[in-house]
């Protein structure tokens, strides 16, 4: 396979989930779209989000030490893009996008009722990295729509989730296999 070198290095590992990250409170909720996020550990369950310090949500998360990862579906694509392009300084994003700020079980931060899978996260470390700072967090609870549970197994592939690749959004595709299928 022939390859060519890009003129500048990039850290754009793709695809990634564009998360709607909620913070604040149910009474004063805020949203920010974050594509730099993911899993850092299985046991204990830990995740990260990376945000620019100038984002409106940054001090809300830093001061409260909590946020909620809301995995958006294809019908929420407009909200994902709009919340990433507009600031909570200027708009009440939940209202603008017609979303419902629902209470969480362990946090003051709200979850998005319209997202079928949400993760309550408590920050345990903040790491300054350059353009973005990384919030490392423990996952305290996961809320899942009943239609995503099949025979006791979580099936996020049935949620119509979206992905983000180099500035473009895509629908998730067909399941191609399960972990360990080559060893069976």
Tens of pLDDT, residues 122-181 = 999 999 999 999 999 999 999 999 999 999 998 888 899 999 988 899 988 777 787 888
Long-range contacts of 129-133 (CB under 8 A, 24+ apart): 129/50, 131/52, 132/36, 132/50, 132/51, 132/52, 133/50, 133/51, 133/52, 133/53, 133/58
User: What local confidence, expressed as pLDDT, does residue 147 receive?
Assistant: 93
**Per-residue pLDDT tens over the stretch 64-89:** 999 999 999 999 999 999 999 999 99
DSSP annotation of 161: B
Answer whether 133's CB lies under 8 Å from 58's CB.
Answer: yes
Helix (H) or strand (E) holding 137: strand 133-144
pLDDT at 31 over 80: yes
Q: Alpha-carbon distance 70 to 114, whole Å?
A: 9
Q: Alpha-carbon distance 118 to 68, whole Å?
A: 7
Top pLDDT among 63 and 165 is at 63
The model's pTM is: 0.93
């Amino acid at each position: 396979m022939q390859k060519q070198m890009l003129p500048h290095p990039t850290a754009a590992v793709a695809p990634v989930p564009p998360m709607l990250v909620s913070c604040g409170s149910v009474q004063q909720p805020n949203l920010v779209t974050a594509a730099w996020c993911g899993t850092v550990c299985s046991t204990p369950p830990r995740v990260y989000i990376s945000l620019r310090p100038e984002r409106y949500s940054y001090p809300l998360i830093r001061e409260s030490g909590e946020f909620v990862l809301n995995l958006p579906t294809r019908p929420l694509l407009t909200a994902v893009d709009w919340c990433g392009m507009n600031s909570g300084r200027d708009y009440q994003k939940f209202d603008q996008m017609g979303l419902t700020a629902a209470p969480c079980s362990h946090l003051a931060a709200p979850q998005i009722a319209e997202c079928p899978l949400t993760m309550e996260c408590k920050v345990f470390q903040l790491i300054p990295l350059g353009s973005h700072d990384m919030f490392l967090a423990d996952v305290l609870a996961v809320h899942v729509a009943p239609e995503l549970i099949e025979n006791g197994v979580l099936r996020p592939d049935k949620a119509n989730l979206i992905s983000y690749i180099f500035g473009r959004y895509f629908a998730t595709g067909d399941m191609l296999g399960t972990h360990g299928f080559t060893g069976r």
